[in-house]
C-alpha cells in the first residue's frame, strides 16, 4: 500500500461522501469501537490485476482510466 496521493484529494473527498462509506463509519462508532479514523492510501494494481479487473467488470466510463 502506498501513501496518500495528494493529487487525488477530490477523489478521496468524493469517496468519503459516499453513503456506504458514511454508513460504515457510523456503524463502527455505534459498535463501541474506538473512534473511526480514515487513512488515505493508494493501491497499485499489477498488469495481471488490470487484466483481471477488465475481464470481470463491465465497461463503464467511470471505471476506465
Distance of alpha carbon 24 from alpha carbon 19, whole angstroms: 9
Tens-digit pLDDT profile for residues 4-55: 999 999 999 999 999 999 998 888 888 876 677 789 999 899 999 999 989 9
Q: What is the pLDDT of residue 20?
A: 93
Cα 64 to chain centroid, rounded: 15
Distance of alpha carbon 16 from alpha carbon 58, whole angstroms: 24
46 within 8 A of 52, measured Cβ to Cβ: no
Predicted TM-score (pTM) above 0.75 = no
- 2 three-state secondary structure: strand
pLDDT band at 62 (very low <50, low <70, confident <90, very high): low
C-alpha cell at 51: 487484466
Amino acid at each position: 500500500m502506498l501513501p496518500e496521493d495528494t493529487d487525488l484529494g477530490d477523489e478521496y473527498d468524493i469517496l468519503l461522501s459516499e453513503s456506504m462509506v458514511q454508513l460504515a463509519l457510523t456503524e463502527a462508532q455505534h459498535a463501541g469501537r474506538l473512534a473511526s479514523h480514515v487513512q488515505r492510501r493508494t493501491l497499485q494494481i499489477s498488469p495481471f490485476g488490470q487484466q483481471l479487473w477488465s475481464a470481470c467488470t463491465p465497461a463503464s466510463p467511470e471505471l476506465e482510466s
